[in-house]
């Protein structure tokens, strides 16, 4: 499966390592910002599926369709624009260069500082009044050792109303892994993409799918 970095750079970069090894410039800052936004959203959505997952899905769709006439970008692209604007301040420098010190006096890179800027923006979106006063913590990207590999195209059709789905799934009392597998399939992934996304084998996926079906049938009967 072709990586998004490769696809959207027309083959100029084979992976994110090659992209971020180059100095920030007008030619690559847009792609850098988009990739950072995707990675940040993929991390945050593990803690907040209802908001971050919708932003992530919208951003994925934007990247694949924003070149089409009359296409309107989603709120997810605001996250990418935040990253792009932050990075462009450092044109001519590499994202791996030191940005400054954090509150503890530890040096942080431009790339890490960008992740923190994006996380702060996402937190503002997650803390809108209709969030019922839920306290949202920032994600510590400093200690996040395994930022996901290049994101995949997992969404093509827009889904806007999750209320019935959320109610149904909550009643199933799924495990964390079962919920992750179900969300992958609901986002349009095929089995090979679910394997790559969750780093698990087909056997484990199939057994969890069986468990999900059995719980569904026990509550709601046959489809």
- Contact between 184 and 194 under an 8 Å Cβ cutoff? The reply is yes
Domains within the chain, CATH numbers bracketed: 1-146 (no CATH), 160-223 (1.10.10)
Please, what is the Cα angle at 68 between 62 and 70, to 5 degrees? 95
101 bridge partner residues: 107
Query: Which pair of structure tokens corresponds to residue 99?
Result: 């940005």
In this predicted model, what pLDDT tens digit does every residue of 104-163 receive, in sequence order? 888 999 999 999 999 888 888 776 644 444 444 555 555 544 444 444 443 333 344 556
CB-based contacts of 82, cutoff 8 Å, min separation 6: 33, 37, 117, 118, 121
Where is 105: in which H helix or E strand?
none
- The pTM assigned to this predicted structure is 0.59
- Contact between 116 and 126 under an 8 Å Cβ cutoff? The reply is no
Residue 12 DSSP label: S
Tell which wins on pLDDT, 9 or 146: 9
Q: What pLDDT does 156 receive? A: 36
Query: Which pair of structure tokens corresponds to residue 192?
Result: 């090979």
- The SS3 assignment for 90 reads coil
Sign (positive or negative) of CA dihedral 37, 43, 47, 49 = positive
């Amino acid at each position: 499966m072709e990586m998004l970095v490769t696809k959207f750079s027309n083959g100029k970069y084979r992976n994110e390592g090659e992209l971020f090894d180059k100095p920030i410039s007008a030619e690559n800052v847009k792609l850098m910002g988009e990739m950072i936004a995707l990675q940040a959203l993929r991390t945050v959505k593990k803690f907040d599926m209802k908001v971050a997952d919708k932003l992530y899905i919208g951003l994925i769709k934007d990247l694949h369709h924003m070149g089409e006439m009359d296409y309107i970008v989603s709120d997810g692209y605001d996250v990418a624009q935040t990253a792009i604007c932050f990075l462009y301040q450092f044109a001519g420098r590499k994202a791996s260069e030191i940005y400054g010190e954090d509150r503890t006096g530890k040096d942080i890179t431009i790339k890490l500082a960008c992740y923190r800027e994006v996380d702060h923006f996402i937190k503002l979106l997650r803390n809108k009044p209709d969030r019922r006063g839920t306290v949202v913590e920032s994600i510590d990207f400093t200690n996040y050792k395994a930022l996901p590999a290049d994101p995949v195209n997992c969404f093509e059709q827009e889904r806007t109303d999750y209320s019935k789905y959320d109610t149904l799934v909550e009643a199933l009392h799924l495990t964390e892994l079962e919920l992750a597998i179900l969300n992958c399939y609901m986002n349009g992934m095929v089995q090979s993409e679910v394997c790559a996304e969750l780093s698990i084998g087909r056997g484990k996926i199939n057994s969890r799918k069986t468990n999900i079906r059995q719980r569904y049938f026990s509550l709601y009967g046959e489809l």
